[in-house]
Amino acid sequence: MRAAVPLQGSGQVLDATVVTATHEALVAVRDKAPKRFVERLSKTPMQSSKHYYWWRAQSVAYMLRPNARIREELEKRRKLTAANPQPAPGCISIHVRHGDKGVEAETFEDKVYDITAAKVRALDPARFTDQLWLSTEDPATVEYFVNHTGSATTGTGIKWRTGYTAGVPRKPDRSKPNLQYMQEIGYFEEVMNALLNLDMACECSAFVGSIYSNWVRLIDEFRSTLRCKADAPFADVKYQDPHGMDVNW
């Protein structure tokens, strides 16, 4: 279907299926929320550069809200695949971004996530426990957090109790394109397994990841909206200062 697209500021109308915008034009508008919210947002402590991030979280929560059929499917899969301790109060969510993602942005080794989670727990050991919920596509990462934490030589010395989804397809070859894996696994399976991990991650009390990851951003958006945990700690494995994070890429 073709649509008439007005060109801003030109008075012209372009009849096109796809309109290609310049990077500079997108950067100029992507940090803005709809005008109807600007006045209220300006009265909050939120930086104006984060207004779009807030708006995107609201939009994503609405678009991806699960219907009854999806909720039923997720509950069935949870009973079949959730291994080790399931998320409980004090649990820390970790999403490790590996696979072919290195072509898009920097990736980080398991030990970095281990150390970052330990820093989160140290903020309040009475509130945050030694329990993790791990979501990742890398089976080597599952092996690390389930069987190889607790040694000062490999990480923090904390022996984590790690929960994850077992018996689901993962992606051991980091050089293999993600789309190829999706074709082999099946798109429905891939989506449902991903949504299950997303749902369970958001049950945790603190969050660790790389904001470079689309999936970590989804976790951050969902926990801040649907789970009402916007005040829960989020620790990025790269950025020490949260105000330095580029959340509008």
pLDDT tens-digit series, residues 192-241: 999 999 999 999 999 999 988 889 999 999 999 999 999 999 999 999 88
pLDDT the model gives residue 28: 67
Q: Which CATH topology does 64-244 take? A: Rossmann fold (3.40.50)
pLDDT tens-digit series, residues 24-51: 776 666 667 888 898 999 999 888 888 8
Which pLDDT band, with edges at 50, 70 and 90, does 156 fall under? Answer: confident
pLDDT the model gives residue 125: 96
pLDDT tens-digit series, residues 102-144: 556 788 999 999 999 999 999 999 999 999 999 998 899 999 9
pLDDT the model gives residue 20: 66
* Exposed / middle / buried, residue 167 (Cβ in 10 Å: 0-12, 13-18, 19+): exposed
Q: For the chain, which residues make up each domain, given as ranges?
A: 3-61, 64-244
